[in-house]
Amino acid sequence: MKPATLEFIKQRFTEYYREGHLIAPPSVSEREWGFMYFESQAAAISMHRHMAFSAKRELFDYIRNVVPAHIYYSSAYYAEPAAPTMGEKRWYGADLIFDLDADHIMKGPYHLMLSKVKEETEKLLEMLTEELGFEKRAIRVVFSGGRGYHIHVTDISIRSWGSRERREIVDYVRGIGIEPRTIFSRDAQECAGGWRSRLQDVMEEYLAWLKERSANEALEHLTSIGGIGAAIANDVIKGIEDMIGELHRGDVPLLLRRRGVKTILSEKNPEFRRRLEECSARADEPVTTDTKRLIRMPTSLHGGSGLRVTPLAVRDLPAFDPLIDAVVFGRREVEVEPALTTSTRFLDNDYRVEKGVTERIPEALAVFLCCRGLAEIAGGRSIAAG
């Protein structure tokens, strides 16, 4: 990164923090804090942690004086958060955190990745509130400033949960361990909604997909599933309409007695499993099970994008557009030298910058591209990587 680029980014971050945009998380003094700094490319990848602040004023003063690239705090609550070892910190609880990262879901243009991960976040929120009973008032949604969203569940009744209890929650939302034949075999009233409803929808979609295939394609697909021969496959093909009707009537026991159906529902059928996986909320399991995780501070800036780590009420997520609503810098034009030819959607416009061509672009976009290593401020020497 060129000195001019580094100075440009630090000036913009300094301006943002000194204008008083920060909001501290609850219980500042009981959290461990961690920071990553701008000084050099080598320093930028090093986390400085085991820090503590007695009050939000002390925290804000530190941020405004140092101007970090990234700001993190612990999901955990400690009696001694600045202690150098976890044992000495004396853990006594942690918020329940979910992390959804677009990199784990799809590859593609940045704005499309953000759209897809938002869908996954909405799916997870519905599971947490409608199926698992968490109150919306105990949930905070945060755009990470990068490629995803964090969900903080701050209900005090679950604060003392260990990794095992948290793993059960994340396994549920991800559909890990879901056994379709077992769920379908249980009484419909006993397990209505939730995964039973999703399984019925997936089975109906799968049968409709199979019905659209030619006879040869359907036969080839079914016989590729271990345990299904040509005779059973032909019975399945002939019975598709009846099976769809049984699903609509809720007559799942009759459906399960049909030859081949239990095998179709099993792990031997990757097509069905793929469709079932799409119903899950693809949260990052290690983040949720970690009772001592550091998570980005809402209202801070993301040093890899210049976007605001944006807290949201659950009701505000559907209308939220991170490439508009998480942008904090202005539209005055800045000259940059693109490191790559890049097309991106930003501030409700489509932009394209060409490698080797000095471009004049809005300051907000310049911060975004420079933070991501896609451009340099025009002029100046490069800083050698450390």
Identify the CA nearest to 269 among candidates 218, 227, 219: 227
- Catalytic, out of 99, 103, 242, 290: 99
Assigned token pair, 281? 């909320």
SS3 call for 30: helix
Assigned token pair, 361? 């672009």
- Catalytic, out of 101, 235, 242, 316: 101
187 is known as an active-site residue: no
Strands (E), the chain: 33-36, 48-51, 70-74, 76-78, 91-94, 96-101, 139-143, 148-153, 294-296, 310-312, 333-338, 342-346, 349-353, 359-362, 375-377
Rounded distance, CA 147 to CA 307, Å?
11
284 is known as an active-site residue: yes
Contact 45/36 with Cβ under 8 angstroms? yes
Torsion angle, alpha carbons of 242, 246, 251, 254, to 10: 20
SS3 call for 46: coil
Q: Which residue has the tokens 């991170």?
A: 322
SS3 call for 70: strand
* Crossing angle of helices 3-18 and 56-66, rounded to 10°: 150
- Catalytic, out of 187, 235, 284, 348: 284
Rounded distance, CA 357 to CA 104, Å?
33
Tell me which residues are annotated as active site: 99, 101, 284
